[in-house]
Chains A and B, each alone.
Chain A
Amino acid sequence: MVAQESHQHAAPQGFIRKWVFSLDHKVIGLQYYFLALTAVFVGMFLSLLMRIHLIWPTAILPLLGEIKPETYLSLVTMHGTIMVFFVLTTAPQGGFGNYFLPIQIGAPDMAFPVLNMLSFWTTFVAYVVMLAAFFVVGGAPLHGWTGYAPLSALQSSGPGEGLGADLWIISIAVFCVASLMGALNFITTTLDMRAKGMSMWRMPLTCWSWFITAILGLLAFGVLLSAGILLLMDRNIGTSFFLPLGTINGQMTGHKGGSPLLWQHLFWFFGHPEVYIAILPGMGVASQVLSTFSRKPIFGYKAMVYAMLSIGLLGFMVWGHHMFMSGMSPYSAFAFSIMTMAIGVPSAIKTFNWLGTLHKGRIRFQSPMLFAIGFVSLFVSGGLSGPFLAQPALDIPLHDTAFVPGHFHLIMGVAAIFGIFAATYYWFPKMFGRMMNEKLARIHFFLTLIGTYCVFMPMHYLGLAGQPRRYSQLTELQYLHPLIGLNTFMTYAAIVTVAAQLIFVSNLFWSMFKGPKASDNPWEATTLEWTTATPPPHDNFGGRTPVVHNGPYEYSVPGAPRDYVMQTDPATVAAH
C-alpha cells in the first residue's frame, strides 16, 4: 500500500528536523500536547479574571487595571474559543491521538507524515493569530465563542468587533484546515496501517475513539470553515449572508436580506459534533484506564464501540437543540429534542459499562485510575443535566442561564480535562521514560475534583434562579443580588482549583527530568505501546513489526501465568 511505504523516513539528525519540523508522529503529538498546555493556562487565567471581575467589578488589578464590561466579554469569548479549539480539540486528538494511535495499532508512523507536520504547524499559526486578537486596536472580540451574527458580523456592534473579530474568524478558519488534514490522516492510518492481527475489533477503545472523532472532525470542520468565510465576507466585502436590514445605534448597516439564524444553523452543525470531538477521546482513555487498573476486561467492548458510533451519528442530528429559543420553527424542536434524548441512551450504556468494569475488579489506585474514576463521576453529573436542556419546554426557563455553562463545563470541560489528565498520568512513563510523583498526583486529583464541583455544580442553582450567562456584573438586576454570595464562593473555589493546577505542571516538568526511571510496562497493561521500548524508538518498534493475537483488554484471564495477557502474546485467549 502507498500509505504503508510513505512512512519509511529515516530518523532525522538535526535539531530542526527532529524537534521543530518533525515528521515523527510522537514528536508531533508532543508538540500538540505542549501547545494545548500553554493554551489551557491562558484559557484558565482568562476564566479566573472573569470570576474575579464578576464579584469585584470595580477592582483594579495589578498590570491589567480595571476590567470593563467589554473586556469581560472578550475574556468570555477568548476563554471559550481557546479552551474548545486549542485545548479540548488539540490535546486529546492532536496530542495523545497522534502519539499513541500508530503505536497502539502497531504502525511505524501516521499514514501521511508530512501532512501530519503541516496540520500541527497550521494549528500553531491559528493559535498565534488567535492570541494576536488580544493585542490589536479594540482588543479581542466580545461576541462569545459562538459568534452569533449580527453581533459578530458588524464592525460597529461593539469594541473588539473590528480587527480583533477578523483575526478570531481567520484563526478558526485556519484551525479548521488543520483539523481537516489531521482528520484525514487519522482515518487513513486507522484503516490502512494496522499491524497483522490487529482487526478493527481488537483495537483498544482509545483507537476507536480517535477514529470516530476524526470522522466527526472531517464532517464538521468543513462546515465551520465555510461559515467562517461567509462571515468574513459579510464583515469586509459587503455581503449579507447573515445580515438582514438593520441598524446599529440608529445608523443603517447597509446590509439586507440575510438571516442571523443561518449562522446559528451552520455554527451548531459544527458545534454540536465538536462537543463529542472533545469528549469521545476522554471516553476512550477512561475505558482503557478503568480496564487496566481494575485488572478486568472492559465490560461490553462491542457495546462501547456501538455506543460511540451512535453518539457520533446522532451528534449530527441534534444541532437544533441549541436553538429552541432562537426563533426557528417550534415544530422542528420536536425532532431535535427526541434525537437529543436518544443520545442519552448510548451515554447511559457507557456509564453502566464503566461501572460494570469496576464491579468485581481488583482496583489499583494509581493516578491515572483516580482521574478515570473522576471522569466517570463528572460524566454522570454533567450528563444528567442534559435531559433538562434537551426538552424545549424546560429550555424556556433554562436556556442561556448559568445552568447551561454548568452543564457543559462539567461534561465537555472538566470531564474531558480529566480524560486528558488520566491520559497524561497514564502515558507519561511511555513518553518520557520516567514516572510522575504519585503523592503530588493525588493532591492534584482531590483538589481538582472537589474544586471543579464547587465551581460548576452551583452554576446549576444559579441557572434555576435565572442568572443569565455572559453577564459582566450581577448588580443591575434586583433578583440577582441574592446570588452574589454563591458567586463569591465559586470564585474562591476557582482560585483554589487554578492553584492546584500549578501542582500538576510542577509534577509534570519535575518528573520529566528527575522522576524515577520507568520500566517498559509500569502499569502491567496489555496494549501494544507497552511492548516497545520506553520512550519508543523512531519507528516505534525498533525494526520489528508486531503481530497481534488477542483483544486489548485481557486481564485476569484464568489459567494465564500473570493477570494480564499482552495483545502480542501468541498463547491466544479464546475468542469471546
Chain B
Amino acid sequence: MGLVLLCVIWLITFVSTYFFIAKTWWFPHGASAATAALDHQFAVTFVLMGIIFVAAQLALGLFVWKYSGQSSSSRADYSHGNLKLEIIWTTLTAILFVGLNLMGSPIWAAERFRPAVDGATRVEVTGMQFAWYFRYPGPDGKFGIARPELEDPSAGGEAALGLDPADPASKDDVVTGIMEVPVNREVEVILRAHDVIHSFFVPSMRFKQDAVPGLAIHMHFTPTETGDFEIACAELCGLGHYKMHGILKVVSQDDFDKWLAAREAEKQ
C-alpha cells in the first residue's frame, strides 16, 4: 500500500507540475508596460512555491513508502519533536513569505499608488448590466454631468449613461461601445458602475479593477502593442455576467487621433 500511495502522490505531483512548466495553459500574451514586472513576480513566486510543492509531496510519498510498518516488527521512533528543527523551519518560511511579499510590493505600488501621468489618454469606463460604455471627454477635455434619472440603456450611447444635454461639457463627450486608445501612452481609466459591481478585466494588459457603484476609481495602464484585446467582466454582476465583454483596440497615435476626431465630428 505504501508503494501504491507513493506512486499516486508522485504521479499527481509530476503531472500537475508538468503542465505548469510546459505552459500548456498560461497567461495570454502580455501587451502592456506592467507585463514584465508582473510576470516576473509570478515566475519567482511560482519557482519558490513549486520547489516547496514538489519537495513536500515527494517527501510525503517517500515517507509513507519507507515507513510502512507492516513488514517491521520493531517499534516506531519515540520522539515528541525537535525544537531546533521547528525554529529553523519557522524562521525560514517567515523569511521566505515576508520576503516574497516585499519583493512584490513595488509592483503593486507602481500600479496603484500614483495617479496617471499628465497627458494620459483619459477614458471613463462604465459598467452596466451587461455592457461596458466608454466615454471620452471631447475637445474641451472635460467629462460633463451625467444624471441617473436621465439614463436610458435601451437608447444606447450618451443616453445610456444619462449625459445631461443641458451641460455644455457633456455635449461634446463621446460615448462608444469599443475602447480605442493609442499605443505606448498611458491610459487613465476612470471606472464607474451604475447598478451593481462589475470588474474591468483585460487579461492581455494584466489589468483588473472592480467598478463600484458610488465610486469613481482612477487607474492607469500603458499598452505597448497595437491590436484588439478582449475585455471581460470579472465580478459577478447578474445573469448576463458571462457575456459582458468588450474590445480594447490599441492603435497608433495617428489612427487614434483620426478616430476620435471622426467621433467628435459626428456629434456636431
Q: Which residues of B contact A (CB under 8 A)?
A: 1-2, 4-5, 8-9, 12, 16, 19-20, 24-28, 34, 37-38, 41-42, 45-46, 49, 52-53, 56-57, 59-60, 63-64, 67-70, 72, 74-82, 85-86, 89-90, 93-94, 97-98, 100-101, 104-105, 107-108, 111-113, 129, 148-149, 151-154, 160, 162, 191, 193-197, 199, 201, 203, 206-210, 212-215, 217, 230, 232-243, 245
Please give the distance in Å from B16's CB to the nearest CB on chain A. Answer: 5
Complex interface bits, A437-461 against B, C-beta within 8 A gives 1, otherwise 0: 0000000001001100100011011
Closest 10 CB pairs of A and B: A244-B214, A362-B69, A300-B81, A330-B112, A466-B203, A360-B77, A461-B25, A365-B1, A70-B239, A471-B242
Partner of B111, one of A396, A453, A469, A556: A396
Partner of B49, one of A384, A400, A446: A384
Which chain A residues numbered 124 to 161 have a C-beta less than 8 Å away from chain B? 142-144, 148, 150-151, 154, 157-159
Please give the distance in Å from B221's CB to the nearest CB on chain A. Answer: 10
Residues of A within 8 A of B193 (CB): 246
Are A327's CB and B217's CB within 8 A?
yes
Please give the distance in Å from B13's CB to the nearest CB on chain A. Answer: 9
User: Could you pull out 20 A-B pairs where Cβ atoms are within 8 angstroms?
Assistant: A70-B239, A73-B238, A142-B239, A150-B196, A244-B213, A246-B194, A248-B129, A260-B197, A260-B213, A359-B77, A361-B67, A362-B72, A380-B52, A390-B101, A391-B101, A393-B108, A450-B8, A473-B242, A563-B76, A576-B80
Residues of B within 8 A of A259 (CB): 214
A472 contacts the other chain (CB 8 A): yes
Please give the distance in Å from B189's CB to the nearest CB on chain A. Answer: 12
Q: Which residues of A contact B (CB under 8 A)?
A: 68-70, 73, 76, 142-144, 148, 150-151, 154, 157-159, 243-250, 252, 258-261, 294-301, 303, 325-327, 330-331, 333-334, 337-338, 341-342, 344-345, 348-349, 351-353, 355-356, 358-365, 370, 373, 376-377, 380-381, 384-385, 387-388, 390-397, 399-401, 446, 449-450, 453, 457-458, 460-462, 464-466, 468-474, 476-479, 483, 486, 555-558, 563, 576
Are B98's CB and A380's CB within 8 A?
no
Give the CA-CA distance A504 to B111 in the complex, in Å. 49
Are B245's CB and A297's CB within 8 A?
no
Are A400's CB and B235's CB within 8 A?
yes
Please give the distance in Å from A364's CB to the nearest CB on chain B. Answer: 6
Are A355's CB and B63's CB within 8 A?
yes
Residues of B within 8 A of A469 (CB): 234, 236
Give the CA-CA distance A149 to B105 in the complex, in Å. 29
Please give the distance in Å from B17's CB to the nearest CB on chain A. Answer: 10
Are B212's CB and A300's CB within 8 A?
no
Are A400's CB and B208's CB within 8 A?
yes
Give the CA-CA distance A576 to B82 in the complex, in Å. 12
If the complex has contacts A250-B153, A464-B25, are A144 and B236 also in contact, measured as CB distance less than 8 A?
yes
If the complex has contacts A345-B90, A400-B201, A556-B75, are A353 and B81 also in contact, measured as CB distance less than 8 A?
yes
Question: Tally of A-B residue pairs with Cβ under 8 A?
Answer: 346
Are A327's CB and B38's CB within 8 A?
no
Are A461's CB and B214's CB within 8 A?
no
Are A148's CB and B67's CB within 8 A?
no
Extra A-B contacts (16), CB below 8 Å, given A344-B97, A472-B241: A69-B239, A246-B194, A333-B112, A349-B89, A355-B59, A358-B64, A363-B68, A370-B5, A373-B9, A381-B53, A449-B8, A450-B12, A461-B25, A465-B25, A465-B26, A465-B28
Are B49's CB and A260's CB within 8 A?
no
Give the CA-CA distance A185 to B194 in the complex, in Å. 46
Are A356's CB and B81's CB within 8 A?
yes
Residues of B within 8 A of A393 (CB): 37-38, 41, 104-105, 107-108, 111
